[in-house]
């Protein structure tokens, strides 16, 4: 071994300095290891110092130098471990950044304008909230229905004249059982009764279809919300009370409802339900009544044990009333300037 002790110490220091400098900028695990090896490996700078230790005769000196070499090796390893962690973290962050889907891109392109829920969707969610608050559960049924669910189970056998109350769109006509675009949400009553054991307190919102020419108050595709209660000892007063409670919760305390005698094949007695506008005029919102015993039986329930009431009304029509929309067709024109007024 050549050189004085201080020279040896300078070599050690320089080796550590060079190694940590290389490590601090090493871009990946492999280059970190190369830098470590150059200092502490078998052919590294520190190895040369170490192998010369045997020739140092002064015991104290040898000890001091040996310790310095060990400390140097440890320092280099510490630097390497720290750098390895940083490199790993950066690689992970890089992968996440590369995988990121920038959802703001579209918003920025449209000038930062936000989307909003359609008026009918807003009304549907509010209605669901009101009825869930009254203890009802929400159910849904298919938009393409069997003749059985849409008509027959609702006490309208084939060729029953009451079927002409609905301008039906047939998907498939078959003497064994036609398939229709449902003309109302009432078929979901049947599905719910077939699936849920009573007592039942359910509301069923959804899209319905009728062969109708659009005008200010009609659309061939519109939305209804059906209600069904099946329990013991249910009376017409329960129906009237529920409709009144709903009217106040949805439209506000200043509104009242009234029931007018009417006819539906699936309820007996039946009524039409209106609400009174602020100007004192009345608007018809839908139909209701006590569930007909034949309907309970068709859905597999014993009409001696169970009774109940049902109602169904137009969601679009209610949204139209609540927001003072003049023409129901406005709601389906897909004009954002219209939508933006109701967010
Ligand atoms: N389904 C009826 C309609 O669309 C409304 C209704 C529902 C009437 C439930 C009575 C009971 O006209």
In a 10 Å sphere around its CB, with 0-12 CB exposed, 13-18 middle and 19+ buried, how is residue 9 labelled? middle
Whole-number Å distance between alpha carbons of 249 and 316: 17
For residue 227, give the ligand 1 atom closest to its CA. 9
**What is the C-alpha to C-alpha distance for residues 229 and 238, in angstroms, rounded to an integer?**
10
pLDDT the model gives residue 106: 64
Interval 235-261: pLDDT, tens: 999 999 999 998 888 888 888 899 999
Higher pLDDT, 159 or 307: 307
- Position 20 pLDDT exceeds 80: yes
- What was the pLDDT predicted at 1? 46
pLDDT tens track for 147-175: 999 999 999 988 888 888 888 888 888 87
Q: Does position 176 have pLDDT exceeding 60, yes or no?
A: yes
Per-residue pLDDT at 203 exceeds 70: yes
Domain ranges of the chain: 5-100, 119-342
Using the mean position of ligand 1's atoms as its centre, give its distance from the Cα of residue 172 in Å: 23
CB 3 within 8 A of CB 10: no
Q: Which CATH class is domain 119-342?
A: alpha beta
- Ranked by mean pLDDT, the top range of 75-79, 186-190, 335-339 is 186-190
pLDDT over 90 percentage in the chain: 59
Q: Separation of 34 CA from ligand 1 center, angstroms?
A: 81
Query: Mean pLDDT of all residues in the chain?
Result: 90
Q: What is the number of other CB atoms lying within 10 angstroms of the CB of residue 334?
A: 8
Whether residue 343 is predicted with pLDDT greater than 80 in this model: the reply is no
Calculate how far, in angstroms, residue 27's C-alpha sits from the geometric centre of ligand 1. 72
User: What's the mean pLDDT in 5-28?
Assistant: 90
Q: Which atom of ligand 1 is nearest to the CA of 184?
A: 4
What ranges make up the beta strands (E) of the chain? 137-138, 144-146, 169-172, 179-181, 200-209, 221-231, 257-264, 267-276, 282-291, 307-314
Our mutation pick for probing the ligand 1 site, out of 260, 261, 266, counting the most ligand atoms within 8 A of Cβ, is 266
**What pLDDT, on a 0 to 100 scale, did the predictor assign at position 104?**
67
Q: How many CB atoms lie within 10 A of CB 275?
A: 22
Residue in this structure with the two tokens 């209605």, named with its chain if needed:
127
pTM of the model: 0.68
pLDDT, one tens digit per residue, over 266-293 is 999 999 999 887 788 898 889 999 999 9
Take atom 10 of ligand 1 and give the residue whose Cα is closest. 288
């Amino acid at each position: 071994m050549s050189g004085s002790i201080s020279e040896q110490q300078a070599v050690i220091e320089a080796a550590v300095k060079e190694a940590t400098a290389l490590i601090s900028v090493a871009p990946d695990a492999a280059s970190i290891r190369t830098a470590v090896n150059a200092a502490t490996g078998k052919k590294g700078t520190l190895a040369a110092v170490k192998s010369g230790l045997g020739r140092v005769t002064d015991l104290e000196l040898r000890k001091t130098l040996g310790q310095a070499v060990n400390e140097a090796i440890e320092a280099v390893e510490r630097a390497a471990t720290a750098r390895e962690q940083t490199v790993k973290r950066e690689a992970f962050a890089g992968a996440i950044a590369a995988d990121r889907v920038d959802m703001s891109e579209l918003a920025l392109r449209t000038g930062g304008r936000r989307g909003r829920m359609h008026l009918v969707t807003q009304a549907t969610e509010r209605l669901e909230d009101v009825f869930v608050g009254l203890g009802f559960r929400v159910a849904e049924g298919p938009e393409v229905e069997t003749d059985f669910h849409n008509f027959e189970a609702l006490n309208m056998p084939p060729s029953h004249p009451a079927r002409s109350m609905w301008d039906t769109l047939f998907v498939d006509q078959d003497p064994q059982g036609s398939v229709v675009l449902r003309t109302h949400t009432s078929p979901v009553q049947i599905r719910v009764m077939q699936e849920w054991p009573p007592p039942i307190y359910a509301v069923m919102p959804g899209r319905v279809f009728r062969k109708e020419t659009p005008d200010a108050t009609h659309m061939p595709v519109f939305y209804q919300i059906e209600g069904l209660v099946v329990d013991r000892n249910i009376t017409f007063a329960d129906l009237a009370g529920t409709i009144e409670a709903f009217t106040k919760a949805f439209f506000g305390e200043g509104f009242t409802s009234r029931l007018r005698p009417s006819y539906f094949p699936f309820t007996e007695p039946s009524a039409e339900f209106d609400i009174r506008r602020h100007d004192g005029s009345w608007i018809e919102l839908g139909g209701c009544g006590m569930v007909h015993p034949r309907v309970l039986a068709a859905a597999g329930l014993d009409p001696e044990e169970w009774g109940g009431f049902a109602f169904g009304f137009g969601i679009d029509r209610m949204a139209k009333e609540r927001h003072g929309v003049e023409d129901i067709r406005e709601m389906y024109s897909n004009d954002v300037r219209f939508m933006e007024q109701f967010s």
